[in-house]
Amino acid sequence: MARSAPCWTAAAAVETLRWRRFDEAWFAFDPRSGQTHFLNHTAFSVLQLLGAAPRSVDALAAAFCAAHAAQPDPDLPGVLEDTLRVMDALGLATPLP
Amino acid sequence: MSAPTTVQELSPTVLRRRCAEGLALMVGPFVVRLHSRAALLAENLLRYYPHVPLAREQGFADAVITLKPPLWRWPGRRGWTLALEDGLPFTEFPARALLAHLEWTINWCIASRAQHYLMLHAAVLERDGLALVLPGEPGAGKSTLCAWLMLHGWRLLSDEFGLLRPQALRFDSLPRPIPLKNDSIGVIANSCPTARFGPAIDGTRKGRVAHLLPPAVHLQRMGETARPRWVVFPHYGADSAPAAQALHPAECFAALTQHAFNYALLGATGFETVAALTGAVDAWRLRYASLPDAARCIDELCGLRAAA
């Protein structure tokens, strides 16, 4: 039986982040870890979409395209999956069990 | 007759007596109390710190530093030492290296105790109330460029520690001797004959070091703060034509976090302060080979001179 694709959600820590924006670059300070994260516009948008609702990678790609009025891109899910794994390591996003 | 306000206003006899009791000096916003019965301390103070303001004798001191003479009966203690309040000595040194070791001890105290500031590893200079910040990676030429600018129209706020008040977003003044290394000593000494140095010390971790003394007027203006306006990351290269590259604020923010000694320690305050600093300045990277070229370029960037 094939396993369904996991849903991703924003980590609880995201609610406590402090943000500063410089044009298309975003910096987030995590008071729990003391770390400062740099996010480009794509990563910031992903975090916003996950904050609104948990999504699978495919659903996230569709929501991303809709939010940015972009045409579907077959490479986008792979890019987003890589981004999600980095965000998971940083404690910003997490796959739901 | 008014009370003495600087070291040089004390007679040698009185200075030596005050040192034996504990002489309090204003080192920028800090009070440092120096203590020793040895004539060496008073002699060095008169020679290298004549214009340093005196602090209240009975007030709080941010640091108490004691100079201890060699213990000739102890085979392992042949040099002079400096110690803080706990009495534990730092490394030994010969008498002629007192200035350098005193400066390094004060650095240690500031780095470990002044956590109410965002402390940048940067030189900071001032013109018309506005601060120019020169963050420095080792070998970038920060101190040499800072010395040159100090001797050519800019007021020294600090060479090693850029002390930024988080709430006020203003740099405090910490005008202290600038430690020049190796070839930089001769470059500044030869081009600026009026420059005054402490003794050259060989064999340090960074080679030969000599401290360039700040002008008296910079010490007299120690209480004047400055608003951050420009950040220049200098990079010396022997074959570099002068070239300035504007930095995007995101690059500036990231670089400043790397040049703040206590960014992580300050937590959210550090983040907010670096962000506010980034928002308040224009920033560049500057490659240069000659100090006059670098100074000319900086003056142009800061709008103090029309671009050639």
Same-domain check for residues B100 and B239 = no
The residue out of B80, B113, B146 marking a domain boundary is B113
Supply the ipTM of this predicted assembly: 0.86
Q: What phi and psi values does residue B161 have, to the nearest 5 degrees? A: -115, 115
User: pLDDT (tens digit, 9 = 90+) per residue, B261-305?
Assistant: 999 999 999 999 999 999 999 999 999 999 999 999 999 999 887
Domain A7-95, CATH 3.90.930 — does that match?
yes
State the smallest CA–CA distance between residue B211 and chain A in angstroms: 37
Q: B23-27 and B161-165: which strand pairing?
A: unpaired
pLDDT along chain B (308 residues), means of 10: 86 96 96 97 97 92 95 72 92 94 96 97 97 90 95 96 97 97 95 94 91 96 97 89 92 96 96 98 95 94 76
CB–CB of A23 and B271 under 8 A? no
- What's the structural domain count of chain B? 2
DSSP structure class, residue B242: P
Start-to-end CA span in chain A (Å): 17
Q: Are residues B103 and B154 in the same domain?
A: no
Helix (H) or strand (E) holding A65: helix A57-67
pTM of the model: 0.91
Whether B3 has its CB under 8 Å from any CB of chain A: the answer is: no
Residue with structure tokens 């730092």? B90
Of B39, B5, B7, which is closest to residue B20 (Cα–Cα)? B39
Tell if the CB–CB gap between B250 and A31 is shorter than 8 Å: no
Beta strand B201-204 pairing with B178-181: unpaired
Which residues, at least 6 apart from B107, have a Cβ–Cβ distance to it below 8 Å?
Answer: B160, B161
Which domain-ending residue is among B113, B142, B170? Answer: B113
So what's the pLDDT on residue B110? 96
Chains A, B: CB contacts under 8 A, how many? 33
Residue B125 C-beta-side C-alpha neighbours within 13 Å: 25
Residue where a domain stops, chosen among B113, B142, B168? B113
Beta strands in B159-255 (DSSP E): 161-165, 170-172, 178-181, 201-204, 207-212, 227-236, 243-246
* Contact yes or no for B272 and A18 at CB 8 A: yes
Residues B102 and B166 in one domain: no
Provide the domain limits for residue B135.
118-301
